Structure 1
Amino acid sequence: MFKVLFKCLLFLSLPFWAVAQATSVVFLNPGNSTETFWVSYSQFMQAAARDLGMDLQILYGERNPQNSLDQARELFQRAQKPDYLMLVNEQYVAPQILRMSQGTGVKLFIVNSPLTEDQRALINQSRSSYSDWIGSMVGNDEEAGYRMLNELLLKHGPVPEGQSIDLLAFSGVKVTPAAQLREQGLRRALAEHPQVRLRQMVYGEWNRQRAHEQARQLLQRYPQTQLVWSANDEMALGAMQAARELGRKPGGDLLFSGLNSSPEALRALIDGQLSVLMAGHFTIGGWALVALHDDALGLDPRRLGGPDWQLPLFQSLTRAQAQQLLRLGDQAGARVDFHGLSAQGKPDGYRYPFGLQLLLR
């Protein structure tokens, strides 16, 4: 009797998180398992999951949307299904995964690349069929694309009256909403700056080697090019390599912009070869876990600005900020108190303060 009582008291003395089953999340990462951006994205998520006491599994799609669909199908058939599935609408896979999820009880949350307007309209017609789709969290991709061109022009300086300046642009995968939104931002900036001539936009598919090959051709076709806009850092780095091979000087007679915060891109910004670098959205997965943690607690996302969050995450890095991110490396998530960001116990009107400022302190 004493032993039974002792065990009961011992059980009751354990903290709640040690007794309760951890909230389980599977993330379908669309990138390659060796791809700098998506690996850093996963590392930030893992730091968040540890701090929040969540069970996180990450499955890489290796840039093949069929892999993501097969992974989703397999987990919906598991005897022990996860509480949540996080996915990216890369190459338009989200509607099919939403359809597969019906009746499984797994809650779905979309990050980074949202549903397109057409997809959302179709799904909203039968939203009751997708009651387990609980929300989304994305960055301000359109604004990032817009600001990259504007900041390139600031670095270049005024264009004399009556003259023009040539621009090349490298977008990502054509059927990825994030790439489309960044393109929209570029075109908004172009409409405000008629002195800039977009000579050609190509789809580098986020790939350095592909952008390198494209840039070798384009820079010879348009030798007067002075500005290069790229929807990610890998394509910018590939185009910069091509420029150097053709005798051009990145950061000198040819100005480049990029997006993301790989170590190589950060170093290129620090040494002046990359003129503009937007970053911040590698954190979305970690922030999304905070929202899922609070959903599991029963907190109403509408009280917190959700269930569909568009966050102003992108910012143009200074050289000092690039140096700080470079020093943090894969330990960036260790600087963040994710549990302290939870809305649990916070007053009405609380909004998640997500952003790079939580790392760059």
Structure 2
Amino acid sequence: MRSYPARLLISFLLLLAAPLANASLRPSVVFLSPDDSRFWQLVAGFMEAVAEDLEVDLEVQYDRESHRFSYLRMAKDVLGRDEKPDYLLFMCKENVTEPMLRLADGAGVKAFTFNTDVPDAARASIGMPRTVLPSWLGHLSPDNIAAGRTLVTLLGKQAEQLALAPRTSIPMVALSGTLDSSAAKDRDRGLLAAAVQQRSELLQLVYANWSRELAREKTEVLLERYPNTAAVWSASDGMALGAIEAARNAGRVPGQDLLVGSVDWQPEALDKIRSGELLVSLGRHFMGGGLALLLLHDYHNGRDFDDMSPDYVFRYKLEPATRDNIDQVQRIADPENWGSVDFRQFSRVGESETAKAVPDPDAVLDAITGALTRQETGSVASRL
């Protein structure tokens, strides 16, 4: 019979070994995509490439109803399973972010939110990650306010160069997404602030629900109502593509007598940049889900990200795709190229030299885009 000290030592060693054994298991992650649009397919595809290299079991579910209540229902279904995932990854939506986070916390599933800011109502009730709900590990989002401002600036500068608005201001119309989207709200905030500060006359802002068809219809009305419009600001590439169709239908020449700028880096939009019909698309946030997986992988393997952000909230910049850098951007956004990069090099588990040099989200994304364009360092913006 073993002595009491020996049995105590064995028990202590088993306790120490438990977290190490858990860390060796493949983490399971369920990603709830808010819709099945081309953009979110890119997000999921990039996540799958990252997950394969990191040995993460990733399940992607698309909300084909694309509504906040169907999104909440998806979360309930996943969290009600007998075999629950280790982590739930999802986008913040108005009115359902707090219930989804509370459900995950109650189910013992760790959650990570990304892509859009935490809605004000949820922030007022549950604060930010790890303040009220310990299972809410972190939050990651692009700076959408800055993106809205940047679009106004780039459209205005090009309009001046083409002398499309010889008067004291640049007439502009704007297409936004949905009223329950914090991304749309933040991009609108940047738009409205820049329109006041710069030489832009915002003629009208309309909501097109992220729909290409609805954006085409509404732009046709706007161009008839405001025939002197020099620029169309769009919160997404899909709506911008609809605006380009509307401009052609109205006898305008996109890229020559009407400028269009947008957000997302969608493949068709990048083709329109190459042809000159779309001035600019701000993007790289399709990689946000992959970056979130990197953070979760490291957390699962004992490397928390509290030293990267004391409040567990991460923000990064969107970069412009223009005709000057379209070759590099299309390589970055091409799924055929993602398999050529080993994403393990960006994990901080094991402290690789690359990982040591990327302490913040912008630096991580810069390193990834550099690898995808076969350059070691540097952001897309630095090559404009």
Partners of 2:74 and 2:241 lie apart in 1 by 32
Find the partner of 1:71 among 70, 74, 91.
74
Partners of 2:80 and 2:316 lie apart in 1 by 33
Partners of 1:276 and 1:125 lie apart in 2 by 33
Partners of 1:350 and 1:69 lie apart in 2 by 34
Q: Percent identity?
A: 34
Q: Is the 8 A contact 2:265 2:321 kept in 1?
A: no
Find the partner of 1:278 among 269, 276, 282.
282
- Greater mean deviation of Cα atoms: 53-62 or 184-193: 184-193
> Match of 1:6?
none
Q: Secondary structure at the match of 1:174?
A: coil
Partners of 1:126 and 1:238 lie apart in 2 by 38
| Structure with higher RCO (Cα < 8 A, 6+ apart) | 1
> Match of 1:47?
49
> Match of 1:357?
370
Partners of 2:304 and 2:29 lie apart in 1 by 19
> Match of 1:5?
none
Report deviation, 1:153. 1.2
Report deviation, 1:161. 8.2
Q: Is the 8 A contact 1:91 1:173 kept in 2?
A: no
Partners of 2:194 and 2:129 lie apart in 1 by 36
Q: Is the 8 A contact 2:97 2:122 kept in 1?
A: no
C-alpha RMSD of matched pairs (Å): 2.4
- CA spacing shift, 1:91–1:359, aligned 2, 3 Å: farther
One-letter code of the match for 1:174? L
Partners of 1:187 and 1:261 lie apart in 2 by 23
Partners of 2:118 and 2:150 lie apart in 1 by 23
Partners of 2:156 and 2:132 lie apart in 1 by 47
Say whether residues 1:199 and 2:203 are aligned partners.
yes
One-letter code of the match for 2:117? P
Report deviation, 1:140. 1.5
Q: Is the 8 A contact 2:28 2:86 kept in 1?
A: yes
One-letter code of the match for 1:166? P
Find the partner of 1:136 among 135, 139, 157.
139
- The number of equivalent residue pairs is 341
Partners of 1:132 and 1:279 lie apart in 2 by 30
Report deviation, 1:329. 2.2
Say whether residues 1:227 and 2:227 are aligned partners.
no
> Match of 1:187?
192
- Report the TM-score when normalising by structure 1: 0.88
Alignment of 1:242-321 (within 5 A): 242-305=246-309, 307-312=312-317, 314-319=318-323, 321=325
Find the partner of 1:329 among 315, 325, 334.
334
> Match of 2:220?
216
Find the partner of 1:102 among 102, 105, 108.
105
Cα offsets for 1:142-176 (capped at 9, x unmatched): 11111111011111126788632210000111111
Partners of 1:308 and 1:247 lie apart in 2 by 46
Cα offsets for 1:307-348 (capped at 9, x unmatched): 211112x11113253234435622243243321111123387
Partners of 2:26 and 2:155 lie apart in 1 by 46
- Report the TM-score when normalising by structure 2: 0.83
Q: Is the 8 A contact 2:279 2:322 kept in 1?
A: no
Report deviation, 1:126. 11
One-letter code of the match for 1:41? V
Partners of 2:82 and 2:170 lie apart in 1 by 60
Q: Is the 8 A contact 2:31 2:61 kept in 1?
A: yes
Partners of 2:300 and 2:128 lie apart in 1 by 27
Q: Is the 8 A contact 1:92 1:176 kept in 2?
A: no
- CA spacing shift, 1:299–1:276, aligned 2, 3 Å: same
Cα offsets for 1:195-253 (capped at 9, x unmatched): 32111001111110010010111110011100100001000010110110010110011
Partners of 2:44 and 2:202 lie apart in 1 by 35
For structure 1, which runs of at least 5 residues remain unmatched after alignment? Answer: 1-15
Partners of 2:92 and 2:38 lie apart in 1 by 19
One-letter code of the match for 2:197? E
- Greater mean deviation of Cα atoms: 154-163 or 109-118: 154-163
Q: Is the 8 A contact 2:139 2:314 kept in 1?
A: yes
Say whether residues 1:241 and 2:249 are aligned partners.
no
Say whether residues 1:167 and 2:172 are aligned partners.
yes
Partners of 1:281 and 1:163 lie apart in 2 by 35
> Match of 2:17?
none
Partners of 2:287 and 2:39 lie apart in 1 by 10
Partners of 2:358 and 2:202 lie apart in 1 by 43
One-letter code of the match for 2:176? S
- CA spacing shift, 1:345–1:246, aligned 2, 3 Å: same
- Greater mean deviation of Cα atoms: 215-224 or 295-304: 295-304
Q: Secondary structure at the match of 1:219?
A: helix
Partners of 1:293 and 1:197 lie apart in 2 by 47
Q: Is the 8 A contact 2:232 2:259 kept in 1?
A: yes
